[in-house]
Amino acid sequence: MVAPNSPTRVYNEVLDLIRKDRKLAKLFGNSIVGYGEPSYSRLQRNRSISNKVVLNKNGEKLQEIRFYIEGEKEEHYGVVNAKLIEDQSLKSWRYYHISVDVYKTKKMDEAFEELAGKKDTKLIEAYSNRQNQTSLVTPNLSIDMFSSPEYLKEKQLELQRKRVHSGFFAPKNPKSNNDDGNASWFGIFKPSSRN
């Protein structure tokens, strides 16, 4: 029996969802393959799926799962991030957010070639696989496959905090002065003189 939040179960469900997505089929082709973390052991055939459980800001358990996708069209490479949140009242897990970061393999190859020119064998070995090369470049595209209402609310609050801290909502003092010489928002407006 497989647990509802098992990385293997989540991997299979999300991979099925990805294979049905038209945008991703256009980028990767109809035959999309997913796999876990790279293994340097010849004895280990199956690649483990990266997963960890963390507590979010509200003290709720959040499980983060990451795996990789490739397709018959080799110009793109994808990193899938799935997050599940534990529902305390039902004692079960549900999807919180699923996204796919899409990278252009040409950009990754160019970044790796530039790195290889530095002749640092340890560095070259560390970045010789696609998974590690994703850290050398930024994603070309990020596709949200699913966002729960809680996730959307959290992102909206995060955006509002950024705007407040950046001064976006903080009004600046007006430049014009009112009759008593002090700057005021009301000093900007002049009463109309209708006689």
Domains annotated for the chain, with CATH where assigned, are 7-147 (3.10.450.320), 153-188 (no CATH)
pTM here is 0.75
Question: pLDDT tens digits for 34-53?
Answer: 998 876 666 555 678 889 99
Provide the pLDDT confidence category of residue 127 given band limits of 50, 70 and 90: confident
Question: pLDDT tens digits for 56-73?
Answer: 888 889 999 999 999 999
Which stretches of the chain are assigned E, i.e. beta strand? 32-35, 50-55, 61-71, 76-87, 92-104, 141-147
pLDDT of residue 22: 94
Residue 25: count of CB within 10 angstroms of its CB: 16
Contact 102, 76 (CB under 8 A): yes
Q: Which residues 6+ apart lie within 8 Å of 117 measured at CB?
A: none
- List alpha helices for 29-119, DSSP H: 105-116
pLDDT of residue 194: 53
Provide the pLDDT confidence category of residue 91 given band limits of 50, 70 and 90: confident
- Does residue 77 surpass a pLDDT of 50? yes
